[in-house]
Amino acid sequence: MNICVIGPGYVGLVTAACFAEMGNQVICVSRDEEKVKKLGNGIIPIYEPGLETLVEKNLKDGRLQFTTSLEEGVKKSLFVFIAVATPPDEDGSADLAHVLAVAQRIGRCIDDYRVIVNKSTVPVGTAEKVQAAIRSEIDRRGIDVEFDVISNPEFLKEGDAINDFMKPDRIVVGTDNVRTGELIKELYAPFAREREKLIVMDIRSAEMTKYAANAMLATKISFMNEMANICERVGADVTMVRKGIGSDQRIGYHFIYPGVGYGGSCFPKDVKALIATAKEAGYECKIMTTVEEVNAAQKKLLAQKIIDYFQDKDGLKGKTVAVLGLAFKPNTDDMREASSIEIINLLIREGARIQAHDPEALQEAKRIFGNNPNIAYFENHYDALKGADCMALITEWFVYRNPDFERMKQALKNPVIFDGRNQYNPKEMKRMGIEYFGIGRLS
């Protein structure tokens, strides 16, 4: 099938590459000429395991191309995916400016039946706005062209997006047209060979499903962080509590890891957007408001533990903190809303110097923090520890999970670890003479 994907960002690029991998002809559209040129040469602007290889392969095989011409993409394709950014507006609601601008441009060049697919995460009712924007431009041209607008939210995890797209748990489609439902079913058939994965519903329900899914996952994270904070105060170990409740099939083990709060491009933005959507509909979303408040506080927790520890040791001024992990999660270089930003800024405000390491996000960190003289970056995580007064683990990359603790102890000026992801065993740390502080655990 012929597919156009507008917006080669994280979602758009994964969508385009995976559809091409299944034998479709895919045109990916961006207004950014420099970006299009780089993508055409197989140079991708993000780190996502397997994505670069997939893009290069399908470029070479001629199934994937990049262009600045939206008209070319629309005229050559039956399916037109809108995958542009929907950043939060000042009130927390999703900014639809990019989505509606694309819809207008589609309306100016569409000349035959097309299925317009909202892949961007958008508020309930957006499909109607996209349809109206396209129809307005068609009417202005004085022609009559049939088209359908459907919702097809993405459920991709950064760091495992290729696998999520190629082997999805479910494929949610919002449409009121039986014919369109059959077309989209045919498009996704190669991704659902083992069992039926397509869930067809009305458009507004599909739009809501995306927000509800991310809101539930964010809620589980904030809930477990609340439990961790209680455990710490009553002398319980949250890692044991997690095992105790996770074994209940009604709860499960996923997304109940306590830590330094959630970040990234989805959860923070989508929780805010859902709160704004509820408010616009005349409803106060109390649970999600609390989830957001708990998360904001949790991002400061590890920094506060470090500040409190050094308070009796002449404070943090002049001290060096080795920070391991900058990305908001492993297997990505994405630092949007990353807890590391909040933690590092709080430590620097107290006079600390930072020695930072991350397997993939160093360049992004340099862009975010600029030429801050209080931050030094290291390519090797053991080098980042040298001479530091303590270590703070923020992102649970594999490379940090089973390190040489003796080497770490020798590198640190003081053998003190603040474990923001509960990766290490407190008893083992004590045995090795390392002072240890986790999240909701007995030190």
- Which residues lie across from 50 on neighbouring strands? none
Measured CA to CA, the distance from residue 300 to residue 95 in angstroms comes to 28
Asked if 266 is an active-site residue, the reply is yes
Degrees to nearest 5, angle at CA 106 with 105 and 111: 130
Quick one: which H or E segment has residue 116? strand 114-118
Q: Please state the length of the chain.
A: 443
C-alpha count within 13 angstroms, C-beta hemisphere, residue 242: 21
Measured CA to CA, the distance from residue 268 to residue 155 in angstroms comes to 15
| Type of residue numbered 203 | I
Task: Return the structure tokens found at 223.
Answer: 């809930």
CB atoms within 10 A of CB 432: 15
Selecting among 18, 28, 266, 285, the annotated active-site residue is: 266
Write out the catalytic residue numbers. Answer: 266
